């Protein structure tokens, strides 16, 4: 059955770019740039909805649940980009934030024809990762009608998991079936139907907000520094040392000695702020407060 594209706002024609194929190069870029300027406004309008979802993601994490994105094509790739950056940036397990993509991992680099049209595969993929009621599933779909995503969300509702969506189309199917919809209406694309442009940018901005704000609430950030960064390469080792130097106002040599002793940036900060030198005590306090350093320090001082 053919899809009625006229009902999808991202498929309508943009009157500002009707002549994009005949203007000079700089004017092509200006037209695209002018359209891009509208994206942040669309996302801003959706901020209250995004905040609700962030709080639900945080609740899921505290219960040991996972954030699971689902998408097809560009939407799926955006979910994967967000998910794979969380472990090195915030030191979390790779299962904590993940993305299921129509067509599987191979679809990330090469389109798998027809993969997004299966209602059942979304359910199967969630079953394969043992979806539970503690998880939150966020379907990403510019059109708001992707069968793979809708099938997965319907199953998530059955399981009792929290459901949300990120869509850039108004009054879509996906918006009606989730508990916490995020709708950022970006309007017609500069190139009709090319949702990797404005829609994709809005989706990436929203995913950034959801994962970042959730990790901030989890205590993965002190002030605006990523204190759970995994030092897996030279750049990240240098960043870890620089964070310690910045917070403690110490030398790189001193920072390295402290990192060698306590092994993580977060534990270095805790030890320095409390004068506690016993790694087991530090671990106990951090574990008690789910890794939130401010809460852990407060707990330590109140129970010393």
Active-site residue, 85 included:
yes
Catalytic member of 11, 35, 44, 116: 116
Q: Could you give the CA distance from residue 14 to residue 193 in angstroms, rounded to a whole number? A: 10
Helices 234-248, 265-274: axis angle to 10 degrees equals 20
Q: Can you tell me the distance from the alpha carbon of 285 to that of 300, in angstroms, rounded to the nearest whole number?
A: 6
Q: Of 53, 78, 41, 73, which is closest to residue 186 (Cα–Cα)?
A: 41
Angle between helices 293-303 and 279-288 (to 10 degrees): 110
Three-state DSSP state, 188: coil
Is 44 in the active site?
no
What does the longest C-alpha to C-alpha distance in the chain come to?
A: 73
Tracing tokens 């599933």 back to the chain, one arrives at 137
- The secondary element (H helix, E strand) that includes residue 180 is strand 180-183
Residue 35 exposed, middle or buried by CB count within 10 Å (0-12, 13-18, 19+): buried
Q: Which of 85, 175, 254, 289 is catalytic?
A: 85
Copy the structure tokens of residue 101.
């993509």
Q: Which residues are catalytic?
A: 85, 116
């Amino acid at each position: 059955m053919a899809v009625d594209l006229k009902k999808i706002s991202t498929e309508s024609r943009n009157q500002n770019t009707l002549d994009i194929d005949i203007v000079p190069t700089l004017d092509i870029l200006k037209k695209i740039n002018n359209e891009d300027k509208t994206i942040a406004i669309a996302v801003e309008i959706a901020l209250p909805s995004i905040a609700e979802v962030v709080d639900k993601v945080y609740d899921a994490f505290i219960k040991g649940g996972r954030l699971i994105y689902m998408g097809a094509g560009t939407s799926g790739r955006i979910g994967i980009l967000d998910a794979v950056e969380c472990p090195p940036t915030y030191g979390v397990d790779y299962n904590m934030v993940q993305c299921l993509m129509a067509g599987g991992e191979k679809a990330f680099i090469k389109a798998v024809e027809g993969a997004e049209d299966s209602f059942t595969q979304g359910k199967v993929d969630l079953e394969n990762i043992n979806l539970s009621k503690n998880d939150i599933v966020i379907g990403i779909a510019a059109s708001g009608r992707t069968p793979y995503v809708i099938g997965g969300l319907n199953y998530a509702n059955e399981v009792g998991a929290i459901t949300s969506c990120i869509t850039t189309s108004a009054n879509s199917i996906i918006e009606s079936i989730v508990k916490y919809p995020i709708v950022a209406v970006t309007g017609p694309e500069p190139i009709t139907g090319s949702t990797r442009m404005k829609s994709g940018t809005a989706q990436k901005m929203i995913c950034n907000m959801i994962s970042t704000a959730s990790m901030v609430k989890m205590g993965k950030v002190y002030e605006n520094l990523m204190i759970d960064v995994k030092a897996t390469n030279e750049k990240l080792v240098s960043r870890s040392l620089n964070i310690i130097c910045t917070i403690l106002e110490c030398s790189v040599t001193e920072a390295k000695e402290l990192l060698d002793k306590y092994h993580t940036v977060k534990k270095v900060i805790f030890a320095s702020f409390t004068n506690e030198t016993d790694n087991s005590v530090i671990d106990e306090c951090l574990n008690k407060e789910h890794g939130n350093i401010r809460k852990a320090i407060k707990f330590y001082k109140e129970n010393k």
